[in-house]
């Protein structure tokens, strides 16, 4: 049986990520880049490859585990207590030696380090290393080297596993050994990735690498101090967002994983290892509030370059981490899927959808950064904002796929129309930055027409609420985005009725909100939107209570997935999910701004 999604800890070097289970198994690692092929994929198939390092007694009745991150880092320390004694294992994706803060991921060596420290007694340990590169398509040869390391090589991948103080032995397709760790003893392992026809895998001192990586992470937090409410929660979420940032470009990946299911056994299993423009304004706001202004500006620069020259075609909703548009989706039938949930997908065909909300996210982000960007935008910024605004003015009446990216027919989704209004409204306000080509009067007229259309067509008298699409009576939690984006005040009578209807009809236990009826999971972003709406409507105490309930669904490391099962409380969907942590940060800041205690 596969571990619960909430069992996994998250490691990052701002280029790639790894997931480590409570029992000490690295079950997911894509060493080249967040969205590159995995070398460990037991997360998605029991035979998909892993690297386990844990006490021999792990899983027995006398085995207890306590995990925590080193303060303000993604360096994970797991303490195992067994009948024979206790031992700590510290895991990290190493930064380049000497790198600090924004340098951390620029030249990451692609090395996973694990340091074992004896705390008491004498603890029998096991190490099992079974790599399966290219999403488990390849079984590499394992060769013992003269220096005591093991080389695993196949296709384009070389992996070198070393233990400083223990000679490793290959056993067919794996390393499987036992050893003991005594009180005061320290043993370091490092696993280095290299391209078969490129530079050889790096060699690091694991103990020194852990210390250096901790210092690099802590330098991030020194760049920006969050002073609002719920500081510990916000600082943890800011660190997770930094860990999901691809340092070389500044893009923020939506999640570290692919194909973790929204419903166990279902087929809504998508690849989230890309950067979405649809989430852009929310992401930028969260980075500005809780991470670092430099990260916000680098993200914006990435978007400008990725979008390029704007024509008649709609802007893709997502890009690769270096701005790639072609992220075609395919399936991996070799992988059985998490808990049998198939298909496993690589790539995401949502990039081809028309999503009319995208320009509104970008123009709104430009408005958020207006003072930082200066009185006059540079040529690329100017062309982007003007091009997106004119595209909205010409196409806002067209149907699209909407914020939840359904793969059925296009519709007139409420949230998309509202974001079209946002694009024009913010463009009008940015007029002084846009020069003589800004057609502010015409934009304002179209903006007002969109608003009138939304107010007329978006409210359903039968349900007494704003619904998901024009002409529909189906409630959709995306209606909560209207006050968040400034389209309507939260205390507007129709908006108050909508908030109440969403809470009544889509609400579940633990403060969770579903996106629509019959969805089994509470969607964490929507739940945090409800917190923001209540705070803006003046219900500050209830908003704070709801916030505390929702954040209580985080795992023991403070990590949030996309959704929470309403019956079992289990995490669902890809993890850690950027949108969930973005929602937490923005809701905490809204509670701070609202003045609630």
Which has more confidence, 573 or 381?
573
In a domain, 415, yes or no: no
pLDDT in tens, 450-501: 999 999 999 999 999 999 999 999 999 999 999 999 999 999 999 999 999 9
Q: What would the pLDDT profile of 113-137 be if each residue is shown by its tens digit?
A: 999 999 999 999 999 999 999 999 9
Q: How far is CA 379 from CA 21, 375, 385, 431, 492, in A?
A: 48, 13, 10, 15, 40
In the chain, the number of structural domains is 1
Contact, 339 vs 348, CB < 8 A? no
Question: Tens digits of per-residue pLDDT, 263-318?
Answer: 999 999 999 999 999 888 899 999 888 867 788 888 988 999 999 988 888 899 99
pLDDT at 495: 98
Backbone angles phi, psi at 372, to 5 degrees: -70, -30
Residue 222: pLDDT band by 50, 70, 90 thresholds? confident
Q: What is the pLDDT of residue 142?
A: 96
Instruction: Tell me the C-alpha distance between 182 and 204, whole Å.
Output: 24
Reported as a pLDDT band with limits 50, 70 and 90, residue 597 is very low
Which among 291, 275, 270 is positioned nearest to 224, based on CA atoms?
291
pLDDT one-digit tens code per residue, 348-373: 999 988 999 999 999 999 998 887 76
In a domain, 110, yes or no: yes
Q: Which of 344-358, 370-384, 394-408 has the lowest mean pLDDT?
A: 370-384
In a domain, 595, yes or no: no
Q: What is the pLDDT of residues 493-517, one digit of tens each?
A: 999 999 999 999 999 999 999 999 9
Residue 295 within any structural domain of the chain: no
Which secondary-structure segment (H or E) carries 360?
helix 358-368
190 pLDDT above the threshold of 90: yes
Q: For residue 429, is it within any domain?
A: no
- pTM of the predicted structure, to 2 decimals: 0.96
Contacts 24+ apart (CB under 8 A), 197-204: 197/156, 200/158, 200/160, 201/110, 201/111, 201/158, 201/159, 201/160, 202/109, 202/110, 202/111, 203/162, 204/94, 204/97, 204/109, 204/111, 204/113
pLDDT computed for residue 60 by the predictor: 81
Residue 248 has pLDDT above 50, yes or no: yes
pLDDT higher than 90, residue 230:
yes
Query: What domain range includes position 152?
Result: 5-221
Q: What confidence tens digit (pLDDT) does each residue in 43-100 have?
A: 999 999 999 999 998 778 889 999 999 999 999 999 999 999 999 999 999 999 998 8
Q: What average pLDDT is seen over the chain?
A: 94
Q: Does residue 412 register a pLDDT over 50?
A: yes
Residue 122 has what pLDDT? 97
In angstroms, the CA 127 to CA 23 distance is 12
pLDDT of residue 373: 67
The answer to the question of residue 413 being in a domain is no
| Cis previous bond, 465, omega within 30 | no
Residue 493 falls inside a structural domain: no
Stated length of the chain: 597
Which of 96, 83, 93, 105 minimizes the C-alpha distance to 51?
Answer: 93
Tell me the average pLDDT across 423-441: 93
pLDDT at 372: 72
CATH number for the domain harbouring residue 11: 2.70.98.10
| Per-residue pLDDT at 229 exceeds 70 | yes
Residue 546 lies in a domain: no
């Amino acid at each position: 049986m596969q571990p619960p999604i909430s069992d996994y800890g998250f490691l990052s070097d701002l280029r790639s990520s790894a997931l480590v289970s409570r029992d000490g198994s690295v079950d997911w690692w894509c060493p080249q880049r967040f969205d590159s092929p995995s070398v460990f994929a037991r997360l998605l198939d029991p035979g998909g490859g892993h690297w386990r390092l844990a006490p021999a007694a792990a899983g027995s009745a006398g085995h207890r585990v306590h995990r925590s991150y080193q303060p303000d880092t993604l360096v994970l320390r797991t303490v195992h207590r067994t009948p024979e004694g206790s031992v700590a294992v510290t895991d990290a994706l190493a930064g380049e030696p000497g790198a600090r803060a924004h340098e951390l991921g620029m030249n990451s060596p692609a090395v996973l380090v694990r340091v074992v420290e004896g705390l008491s007694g004498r603890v029998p340990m096991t190490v099992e290393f079974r790599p399966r590169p290219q999403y488990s398509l390849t079984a590499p040869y394992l060769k013992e080297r003269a220096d005591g390391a093991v080389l695993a090589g196949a296709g384009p991948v070389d992996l070198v596993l070393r233990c400083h103080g223990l000679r490793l032995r290959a056993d067919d397709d794996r390393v499987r050994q036992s050893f003991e760790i005594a009180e005061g003893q320290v043993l370091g392992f490092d696993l280095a990735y290299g391209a078969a026809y490129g530079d050889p895998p790096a060699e690091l001192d694991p103990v020194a690498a852990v210390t250096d990586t901790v210092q690099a992470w802590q330098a991030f937090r020194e760049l920006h101090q969050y002073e609002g409410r719920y500081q510990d929660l916000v600082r943890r979420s800011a660190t997770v967002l930094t860990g999901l940032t691809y340092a070389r470009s500044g893009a923020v990946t939506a999640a570290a994983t692919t194909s973790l299911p929204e419903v166990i056994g279902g087929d809504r299993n998508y690849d989230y290892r890309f950067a979405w423009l649809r989430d852009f304004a929310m992401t930028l706001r969260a980075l500005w509030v809780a991470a670092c202004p430099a990260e916000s500006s680098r993200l914006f620069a990435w978007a400008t370059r990725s979008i390029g020259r704007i024509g008649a075609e709609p802007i893709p909703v997502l890009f690769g981490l270096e701005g790639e548009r072609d992220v075609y989706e395919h399936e991996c039938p070799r992988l059985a899927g998490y808990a049998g949930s198939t298909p496993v997908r690589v790539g995401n065909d949502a990039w081809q959808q028309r999503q009319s909300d995208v320009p509104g996210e970008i123009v709104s982000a430009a408005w958020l950064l207006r003072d930082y960007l200066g009185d006059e935008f540079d040529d690329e910024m100017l062309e982007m904002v003007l091009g997106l605004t004119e595209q909205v003015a010409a196409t806002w009446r067209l149907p699209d796929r909407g914020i939840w990216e359904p793969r059925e027919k296009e519709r007139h989704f409420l949230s998309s129309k509202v974001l079209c209004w946002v694009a024009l409204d913010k463009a009008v306000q940015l007029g002084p930055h846009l020069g003589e080509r800004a057609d502010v009067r015409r934009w304002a007229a179209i903006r007002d027409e969109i608003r009138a259309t939304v107010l007329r067509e978006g409210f359903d008298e039968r349900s007494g609420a704003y619904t998901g699409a024009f002409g529909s009576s189906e409630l959709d939690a995306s209606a909560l985005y209207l006050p968040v984006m400034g389209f309507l005040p939260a205390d507007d009578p129709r908006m108050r009725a909508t908030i109440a209807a969403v809470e009544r009809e889509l609400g579940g236990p633990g403060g969770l909100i579903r996106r629509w009826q019959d969805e089994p999971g509470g969607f964490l972003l929507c739940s945090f939107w409800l917190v923001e709406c209540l705070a803006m409507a003046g219900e500050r105490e209830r908003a704070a209570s709801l916030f505390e309930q929702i954040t209580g669904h985080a795992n023991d490391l403070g990590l949030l997935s996309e959704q929470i099962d309403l019956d079992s409380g289990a995490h669902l969907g890809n993890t850690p999910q950027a949108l969930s942590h973005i929602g937490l940060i923005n809701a905490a800041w809204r509670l701070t701004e609202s003045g609630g205690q």
